[in-house]
């Protein structure tokens, strides 16, 4: 009797999970289209620094996951960034449907979520220098978790890279917010092994760079909060000798309400 009851509970849970997975899967594409519409409407209002258009293509919906590519097109380019008109930044997006995304279950996380998305930068004409700097690895990878209540969390992994005379090791940043308006946004991050080569025999190094920020947007426009960023264990090397050791360089910023 107990065994039959347990079996019935398991079957019921599987049915509920399957139904929930199917339902949340049907919400992905409409959500993407709404996000794109809001982004492009903001462009029409002149809220973007550059004339950019957001779009998506190749949407492929499965039962447990969906895949599509998101593209940002610089309609008139961005001369100060050496971006030509029509060039694009693209991202491959893999979405695991809720309410219990498979990846989260495998990690022992049983907190329901609307979806979990993996986002990878696409290697194209515009972004190729970033891949070269990261030795042909993906320079940026993001994991986004969307809760049913509108809150979200994002983990951004940064690959080690070298840009000319500036290099750094692995990095990771986390972003947590209440909703798409980025209210109450909490940011924490760290990048290891920062090096700036001033000449063949002179360089500045830092063991790590860290940032900790908590802000909110008043009236969805004015940032209020505080942030702290630090370069830890700074060393100035001259001909192989550490001439100016410094434990850290710290910068604090506080923005108050008007």
Q: Is the pLDDT of residue 106 over 70?
A: no
CB-CB neighbours of 136 under 10 Å? 11
Residue of 249, 248, 251, 254 lying closest to 228 (CA atoms) = 251
CB 69 within 8 A of CB 58: yes
Instruction: Give the position of tokens 């049907």.
Output: 26
Higher-confidence residue of 218 and 112: namely: 112
CB 130 within 8 A of CB 120: no
Q: Across residues 67-80, what is the average pLDDT?
A: 90
Q: Across residues 50-66, what is the average pLDDT?
A: 88
Residue of 141, 118, 142, 117 lying closest to 31 (CA atoms) = 117
Tens-place pLDDT, residues 127-184: 999 999 999 999 999 988 887 777 778 899 999 999 999 999 999 999 887 755 555 7
CB 122 within 8 A of CB 88: no
Q: Is the pLDDT of residue 100 over 80?
A: no
pTM of the model: 0.77
For the chain, the residue count is 258
Higher-confidence residue of 193 and 21: namely: 193
CA 116 vs. chain centroid, Å, equals 12
Q: What angle do CA 214, 219, 225 make, to 5 degrees?
A: 20
Q: Is the peptide bond before 107 cis (omega within 30 degrees of 0)?
A: no
Q: Is the pLDDT of residue 246 over 80?
A: no
Give the whole-angstrom CA distance, residue 167 versus residue 139.
Answer: 13
Q: Is the pLDDT of residue 1 over 80?
A: no
Q: Where are the beta strands (DSSP E) in the chain?
A: 52-61, 65-74, 88-97, 115-121, 140-146, 152-158, 161-163, 166-168, 171-177, 185-199, 202-218, 222-238, 241-242, 246-255
């Amino acid at each position: 009797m107990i065994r039959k009851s347990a079996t019935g509970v398991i079957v019921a849970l599987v049915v509920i999970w399957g139904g929930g997975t199917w339902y949340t899967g049907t919400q992905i594409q409409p959500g993407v289209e709404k996000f794109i519409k809001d982004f492009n409407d903001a462009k029409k209002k002149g809220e973007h620094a550059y004339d950019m258009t957001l779009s998506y293509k190749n949407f492929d919906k499965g039962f447990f996951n969906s895949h599509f590519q998101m593209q940002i097109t610089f309609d008139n380019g961005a001369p100060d960034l050496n971006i030509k008109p029509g060039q694009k930044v693209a991202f491959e997006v893999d979405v695991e449907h809720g309410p219990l995304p498979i990846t989260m279950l495998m990690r022992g996380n049983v907190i329901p979520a609307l979806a979990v998305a993996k986002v990878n930068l696409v290697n194209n004409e515009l972004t190729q220098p970033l891949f070269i700097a990261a030795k042909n690895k993906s320079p940026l990878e993001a994991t986004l978790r969307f809760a049913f209540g509108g809150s979200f969390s994002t983990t951004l992994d940064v690959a080690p890279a070298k840009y000319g005379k500036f290099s750094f090791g692995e990095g990771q940043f986390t972003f947590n917010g209440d909703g798409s308006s980025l209210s109450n946004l909490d940011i924490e991050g760290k990048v290891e092994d920062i090096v700036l080569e001033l000449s063949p025999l002179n360089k500045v190094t830092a063991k790590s760079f860290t940032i900790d920020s908590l802000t909110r947007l008043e009236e969805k426009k004015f940032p209020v909060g505080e942030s702290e960023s630090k370069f830890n264990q700074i060393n100035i090397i001259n001909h192989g000798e550490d001439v100016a050791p410094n434990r850290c360089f710290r910068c604090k910023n506080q923005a108050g309400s008007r």
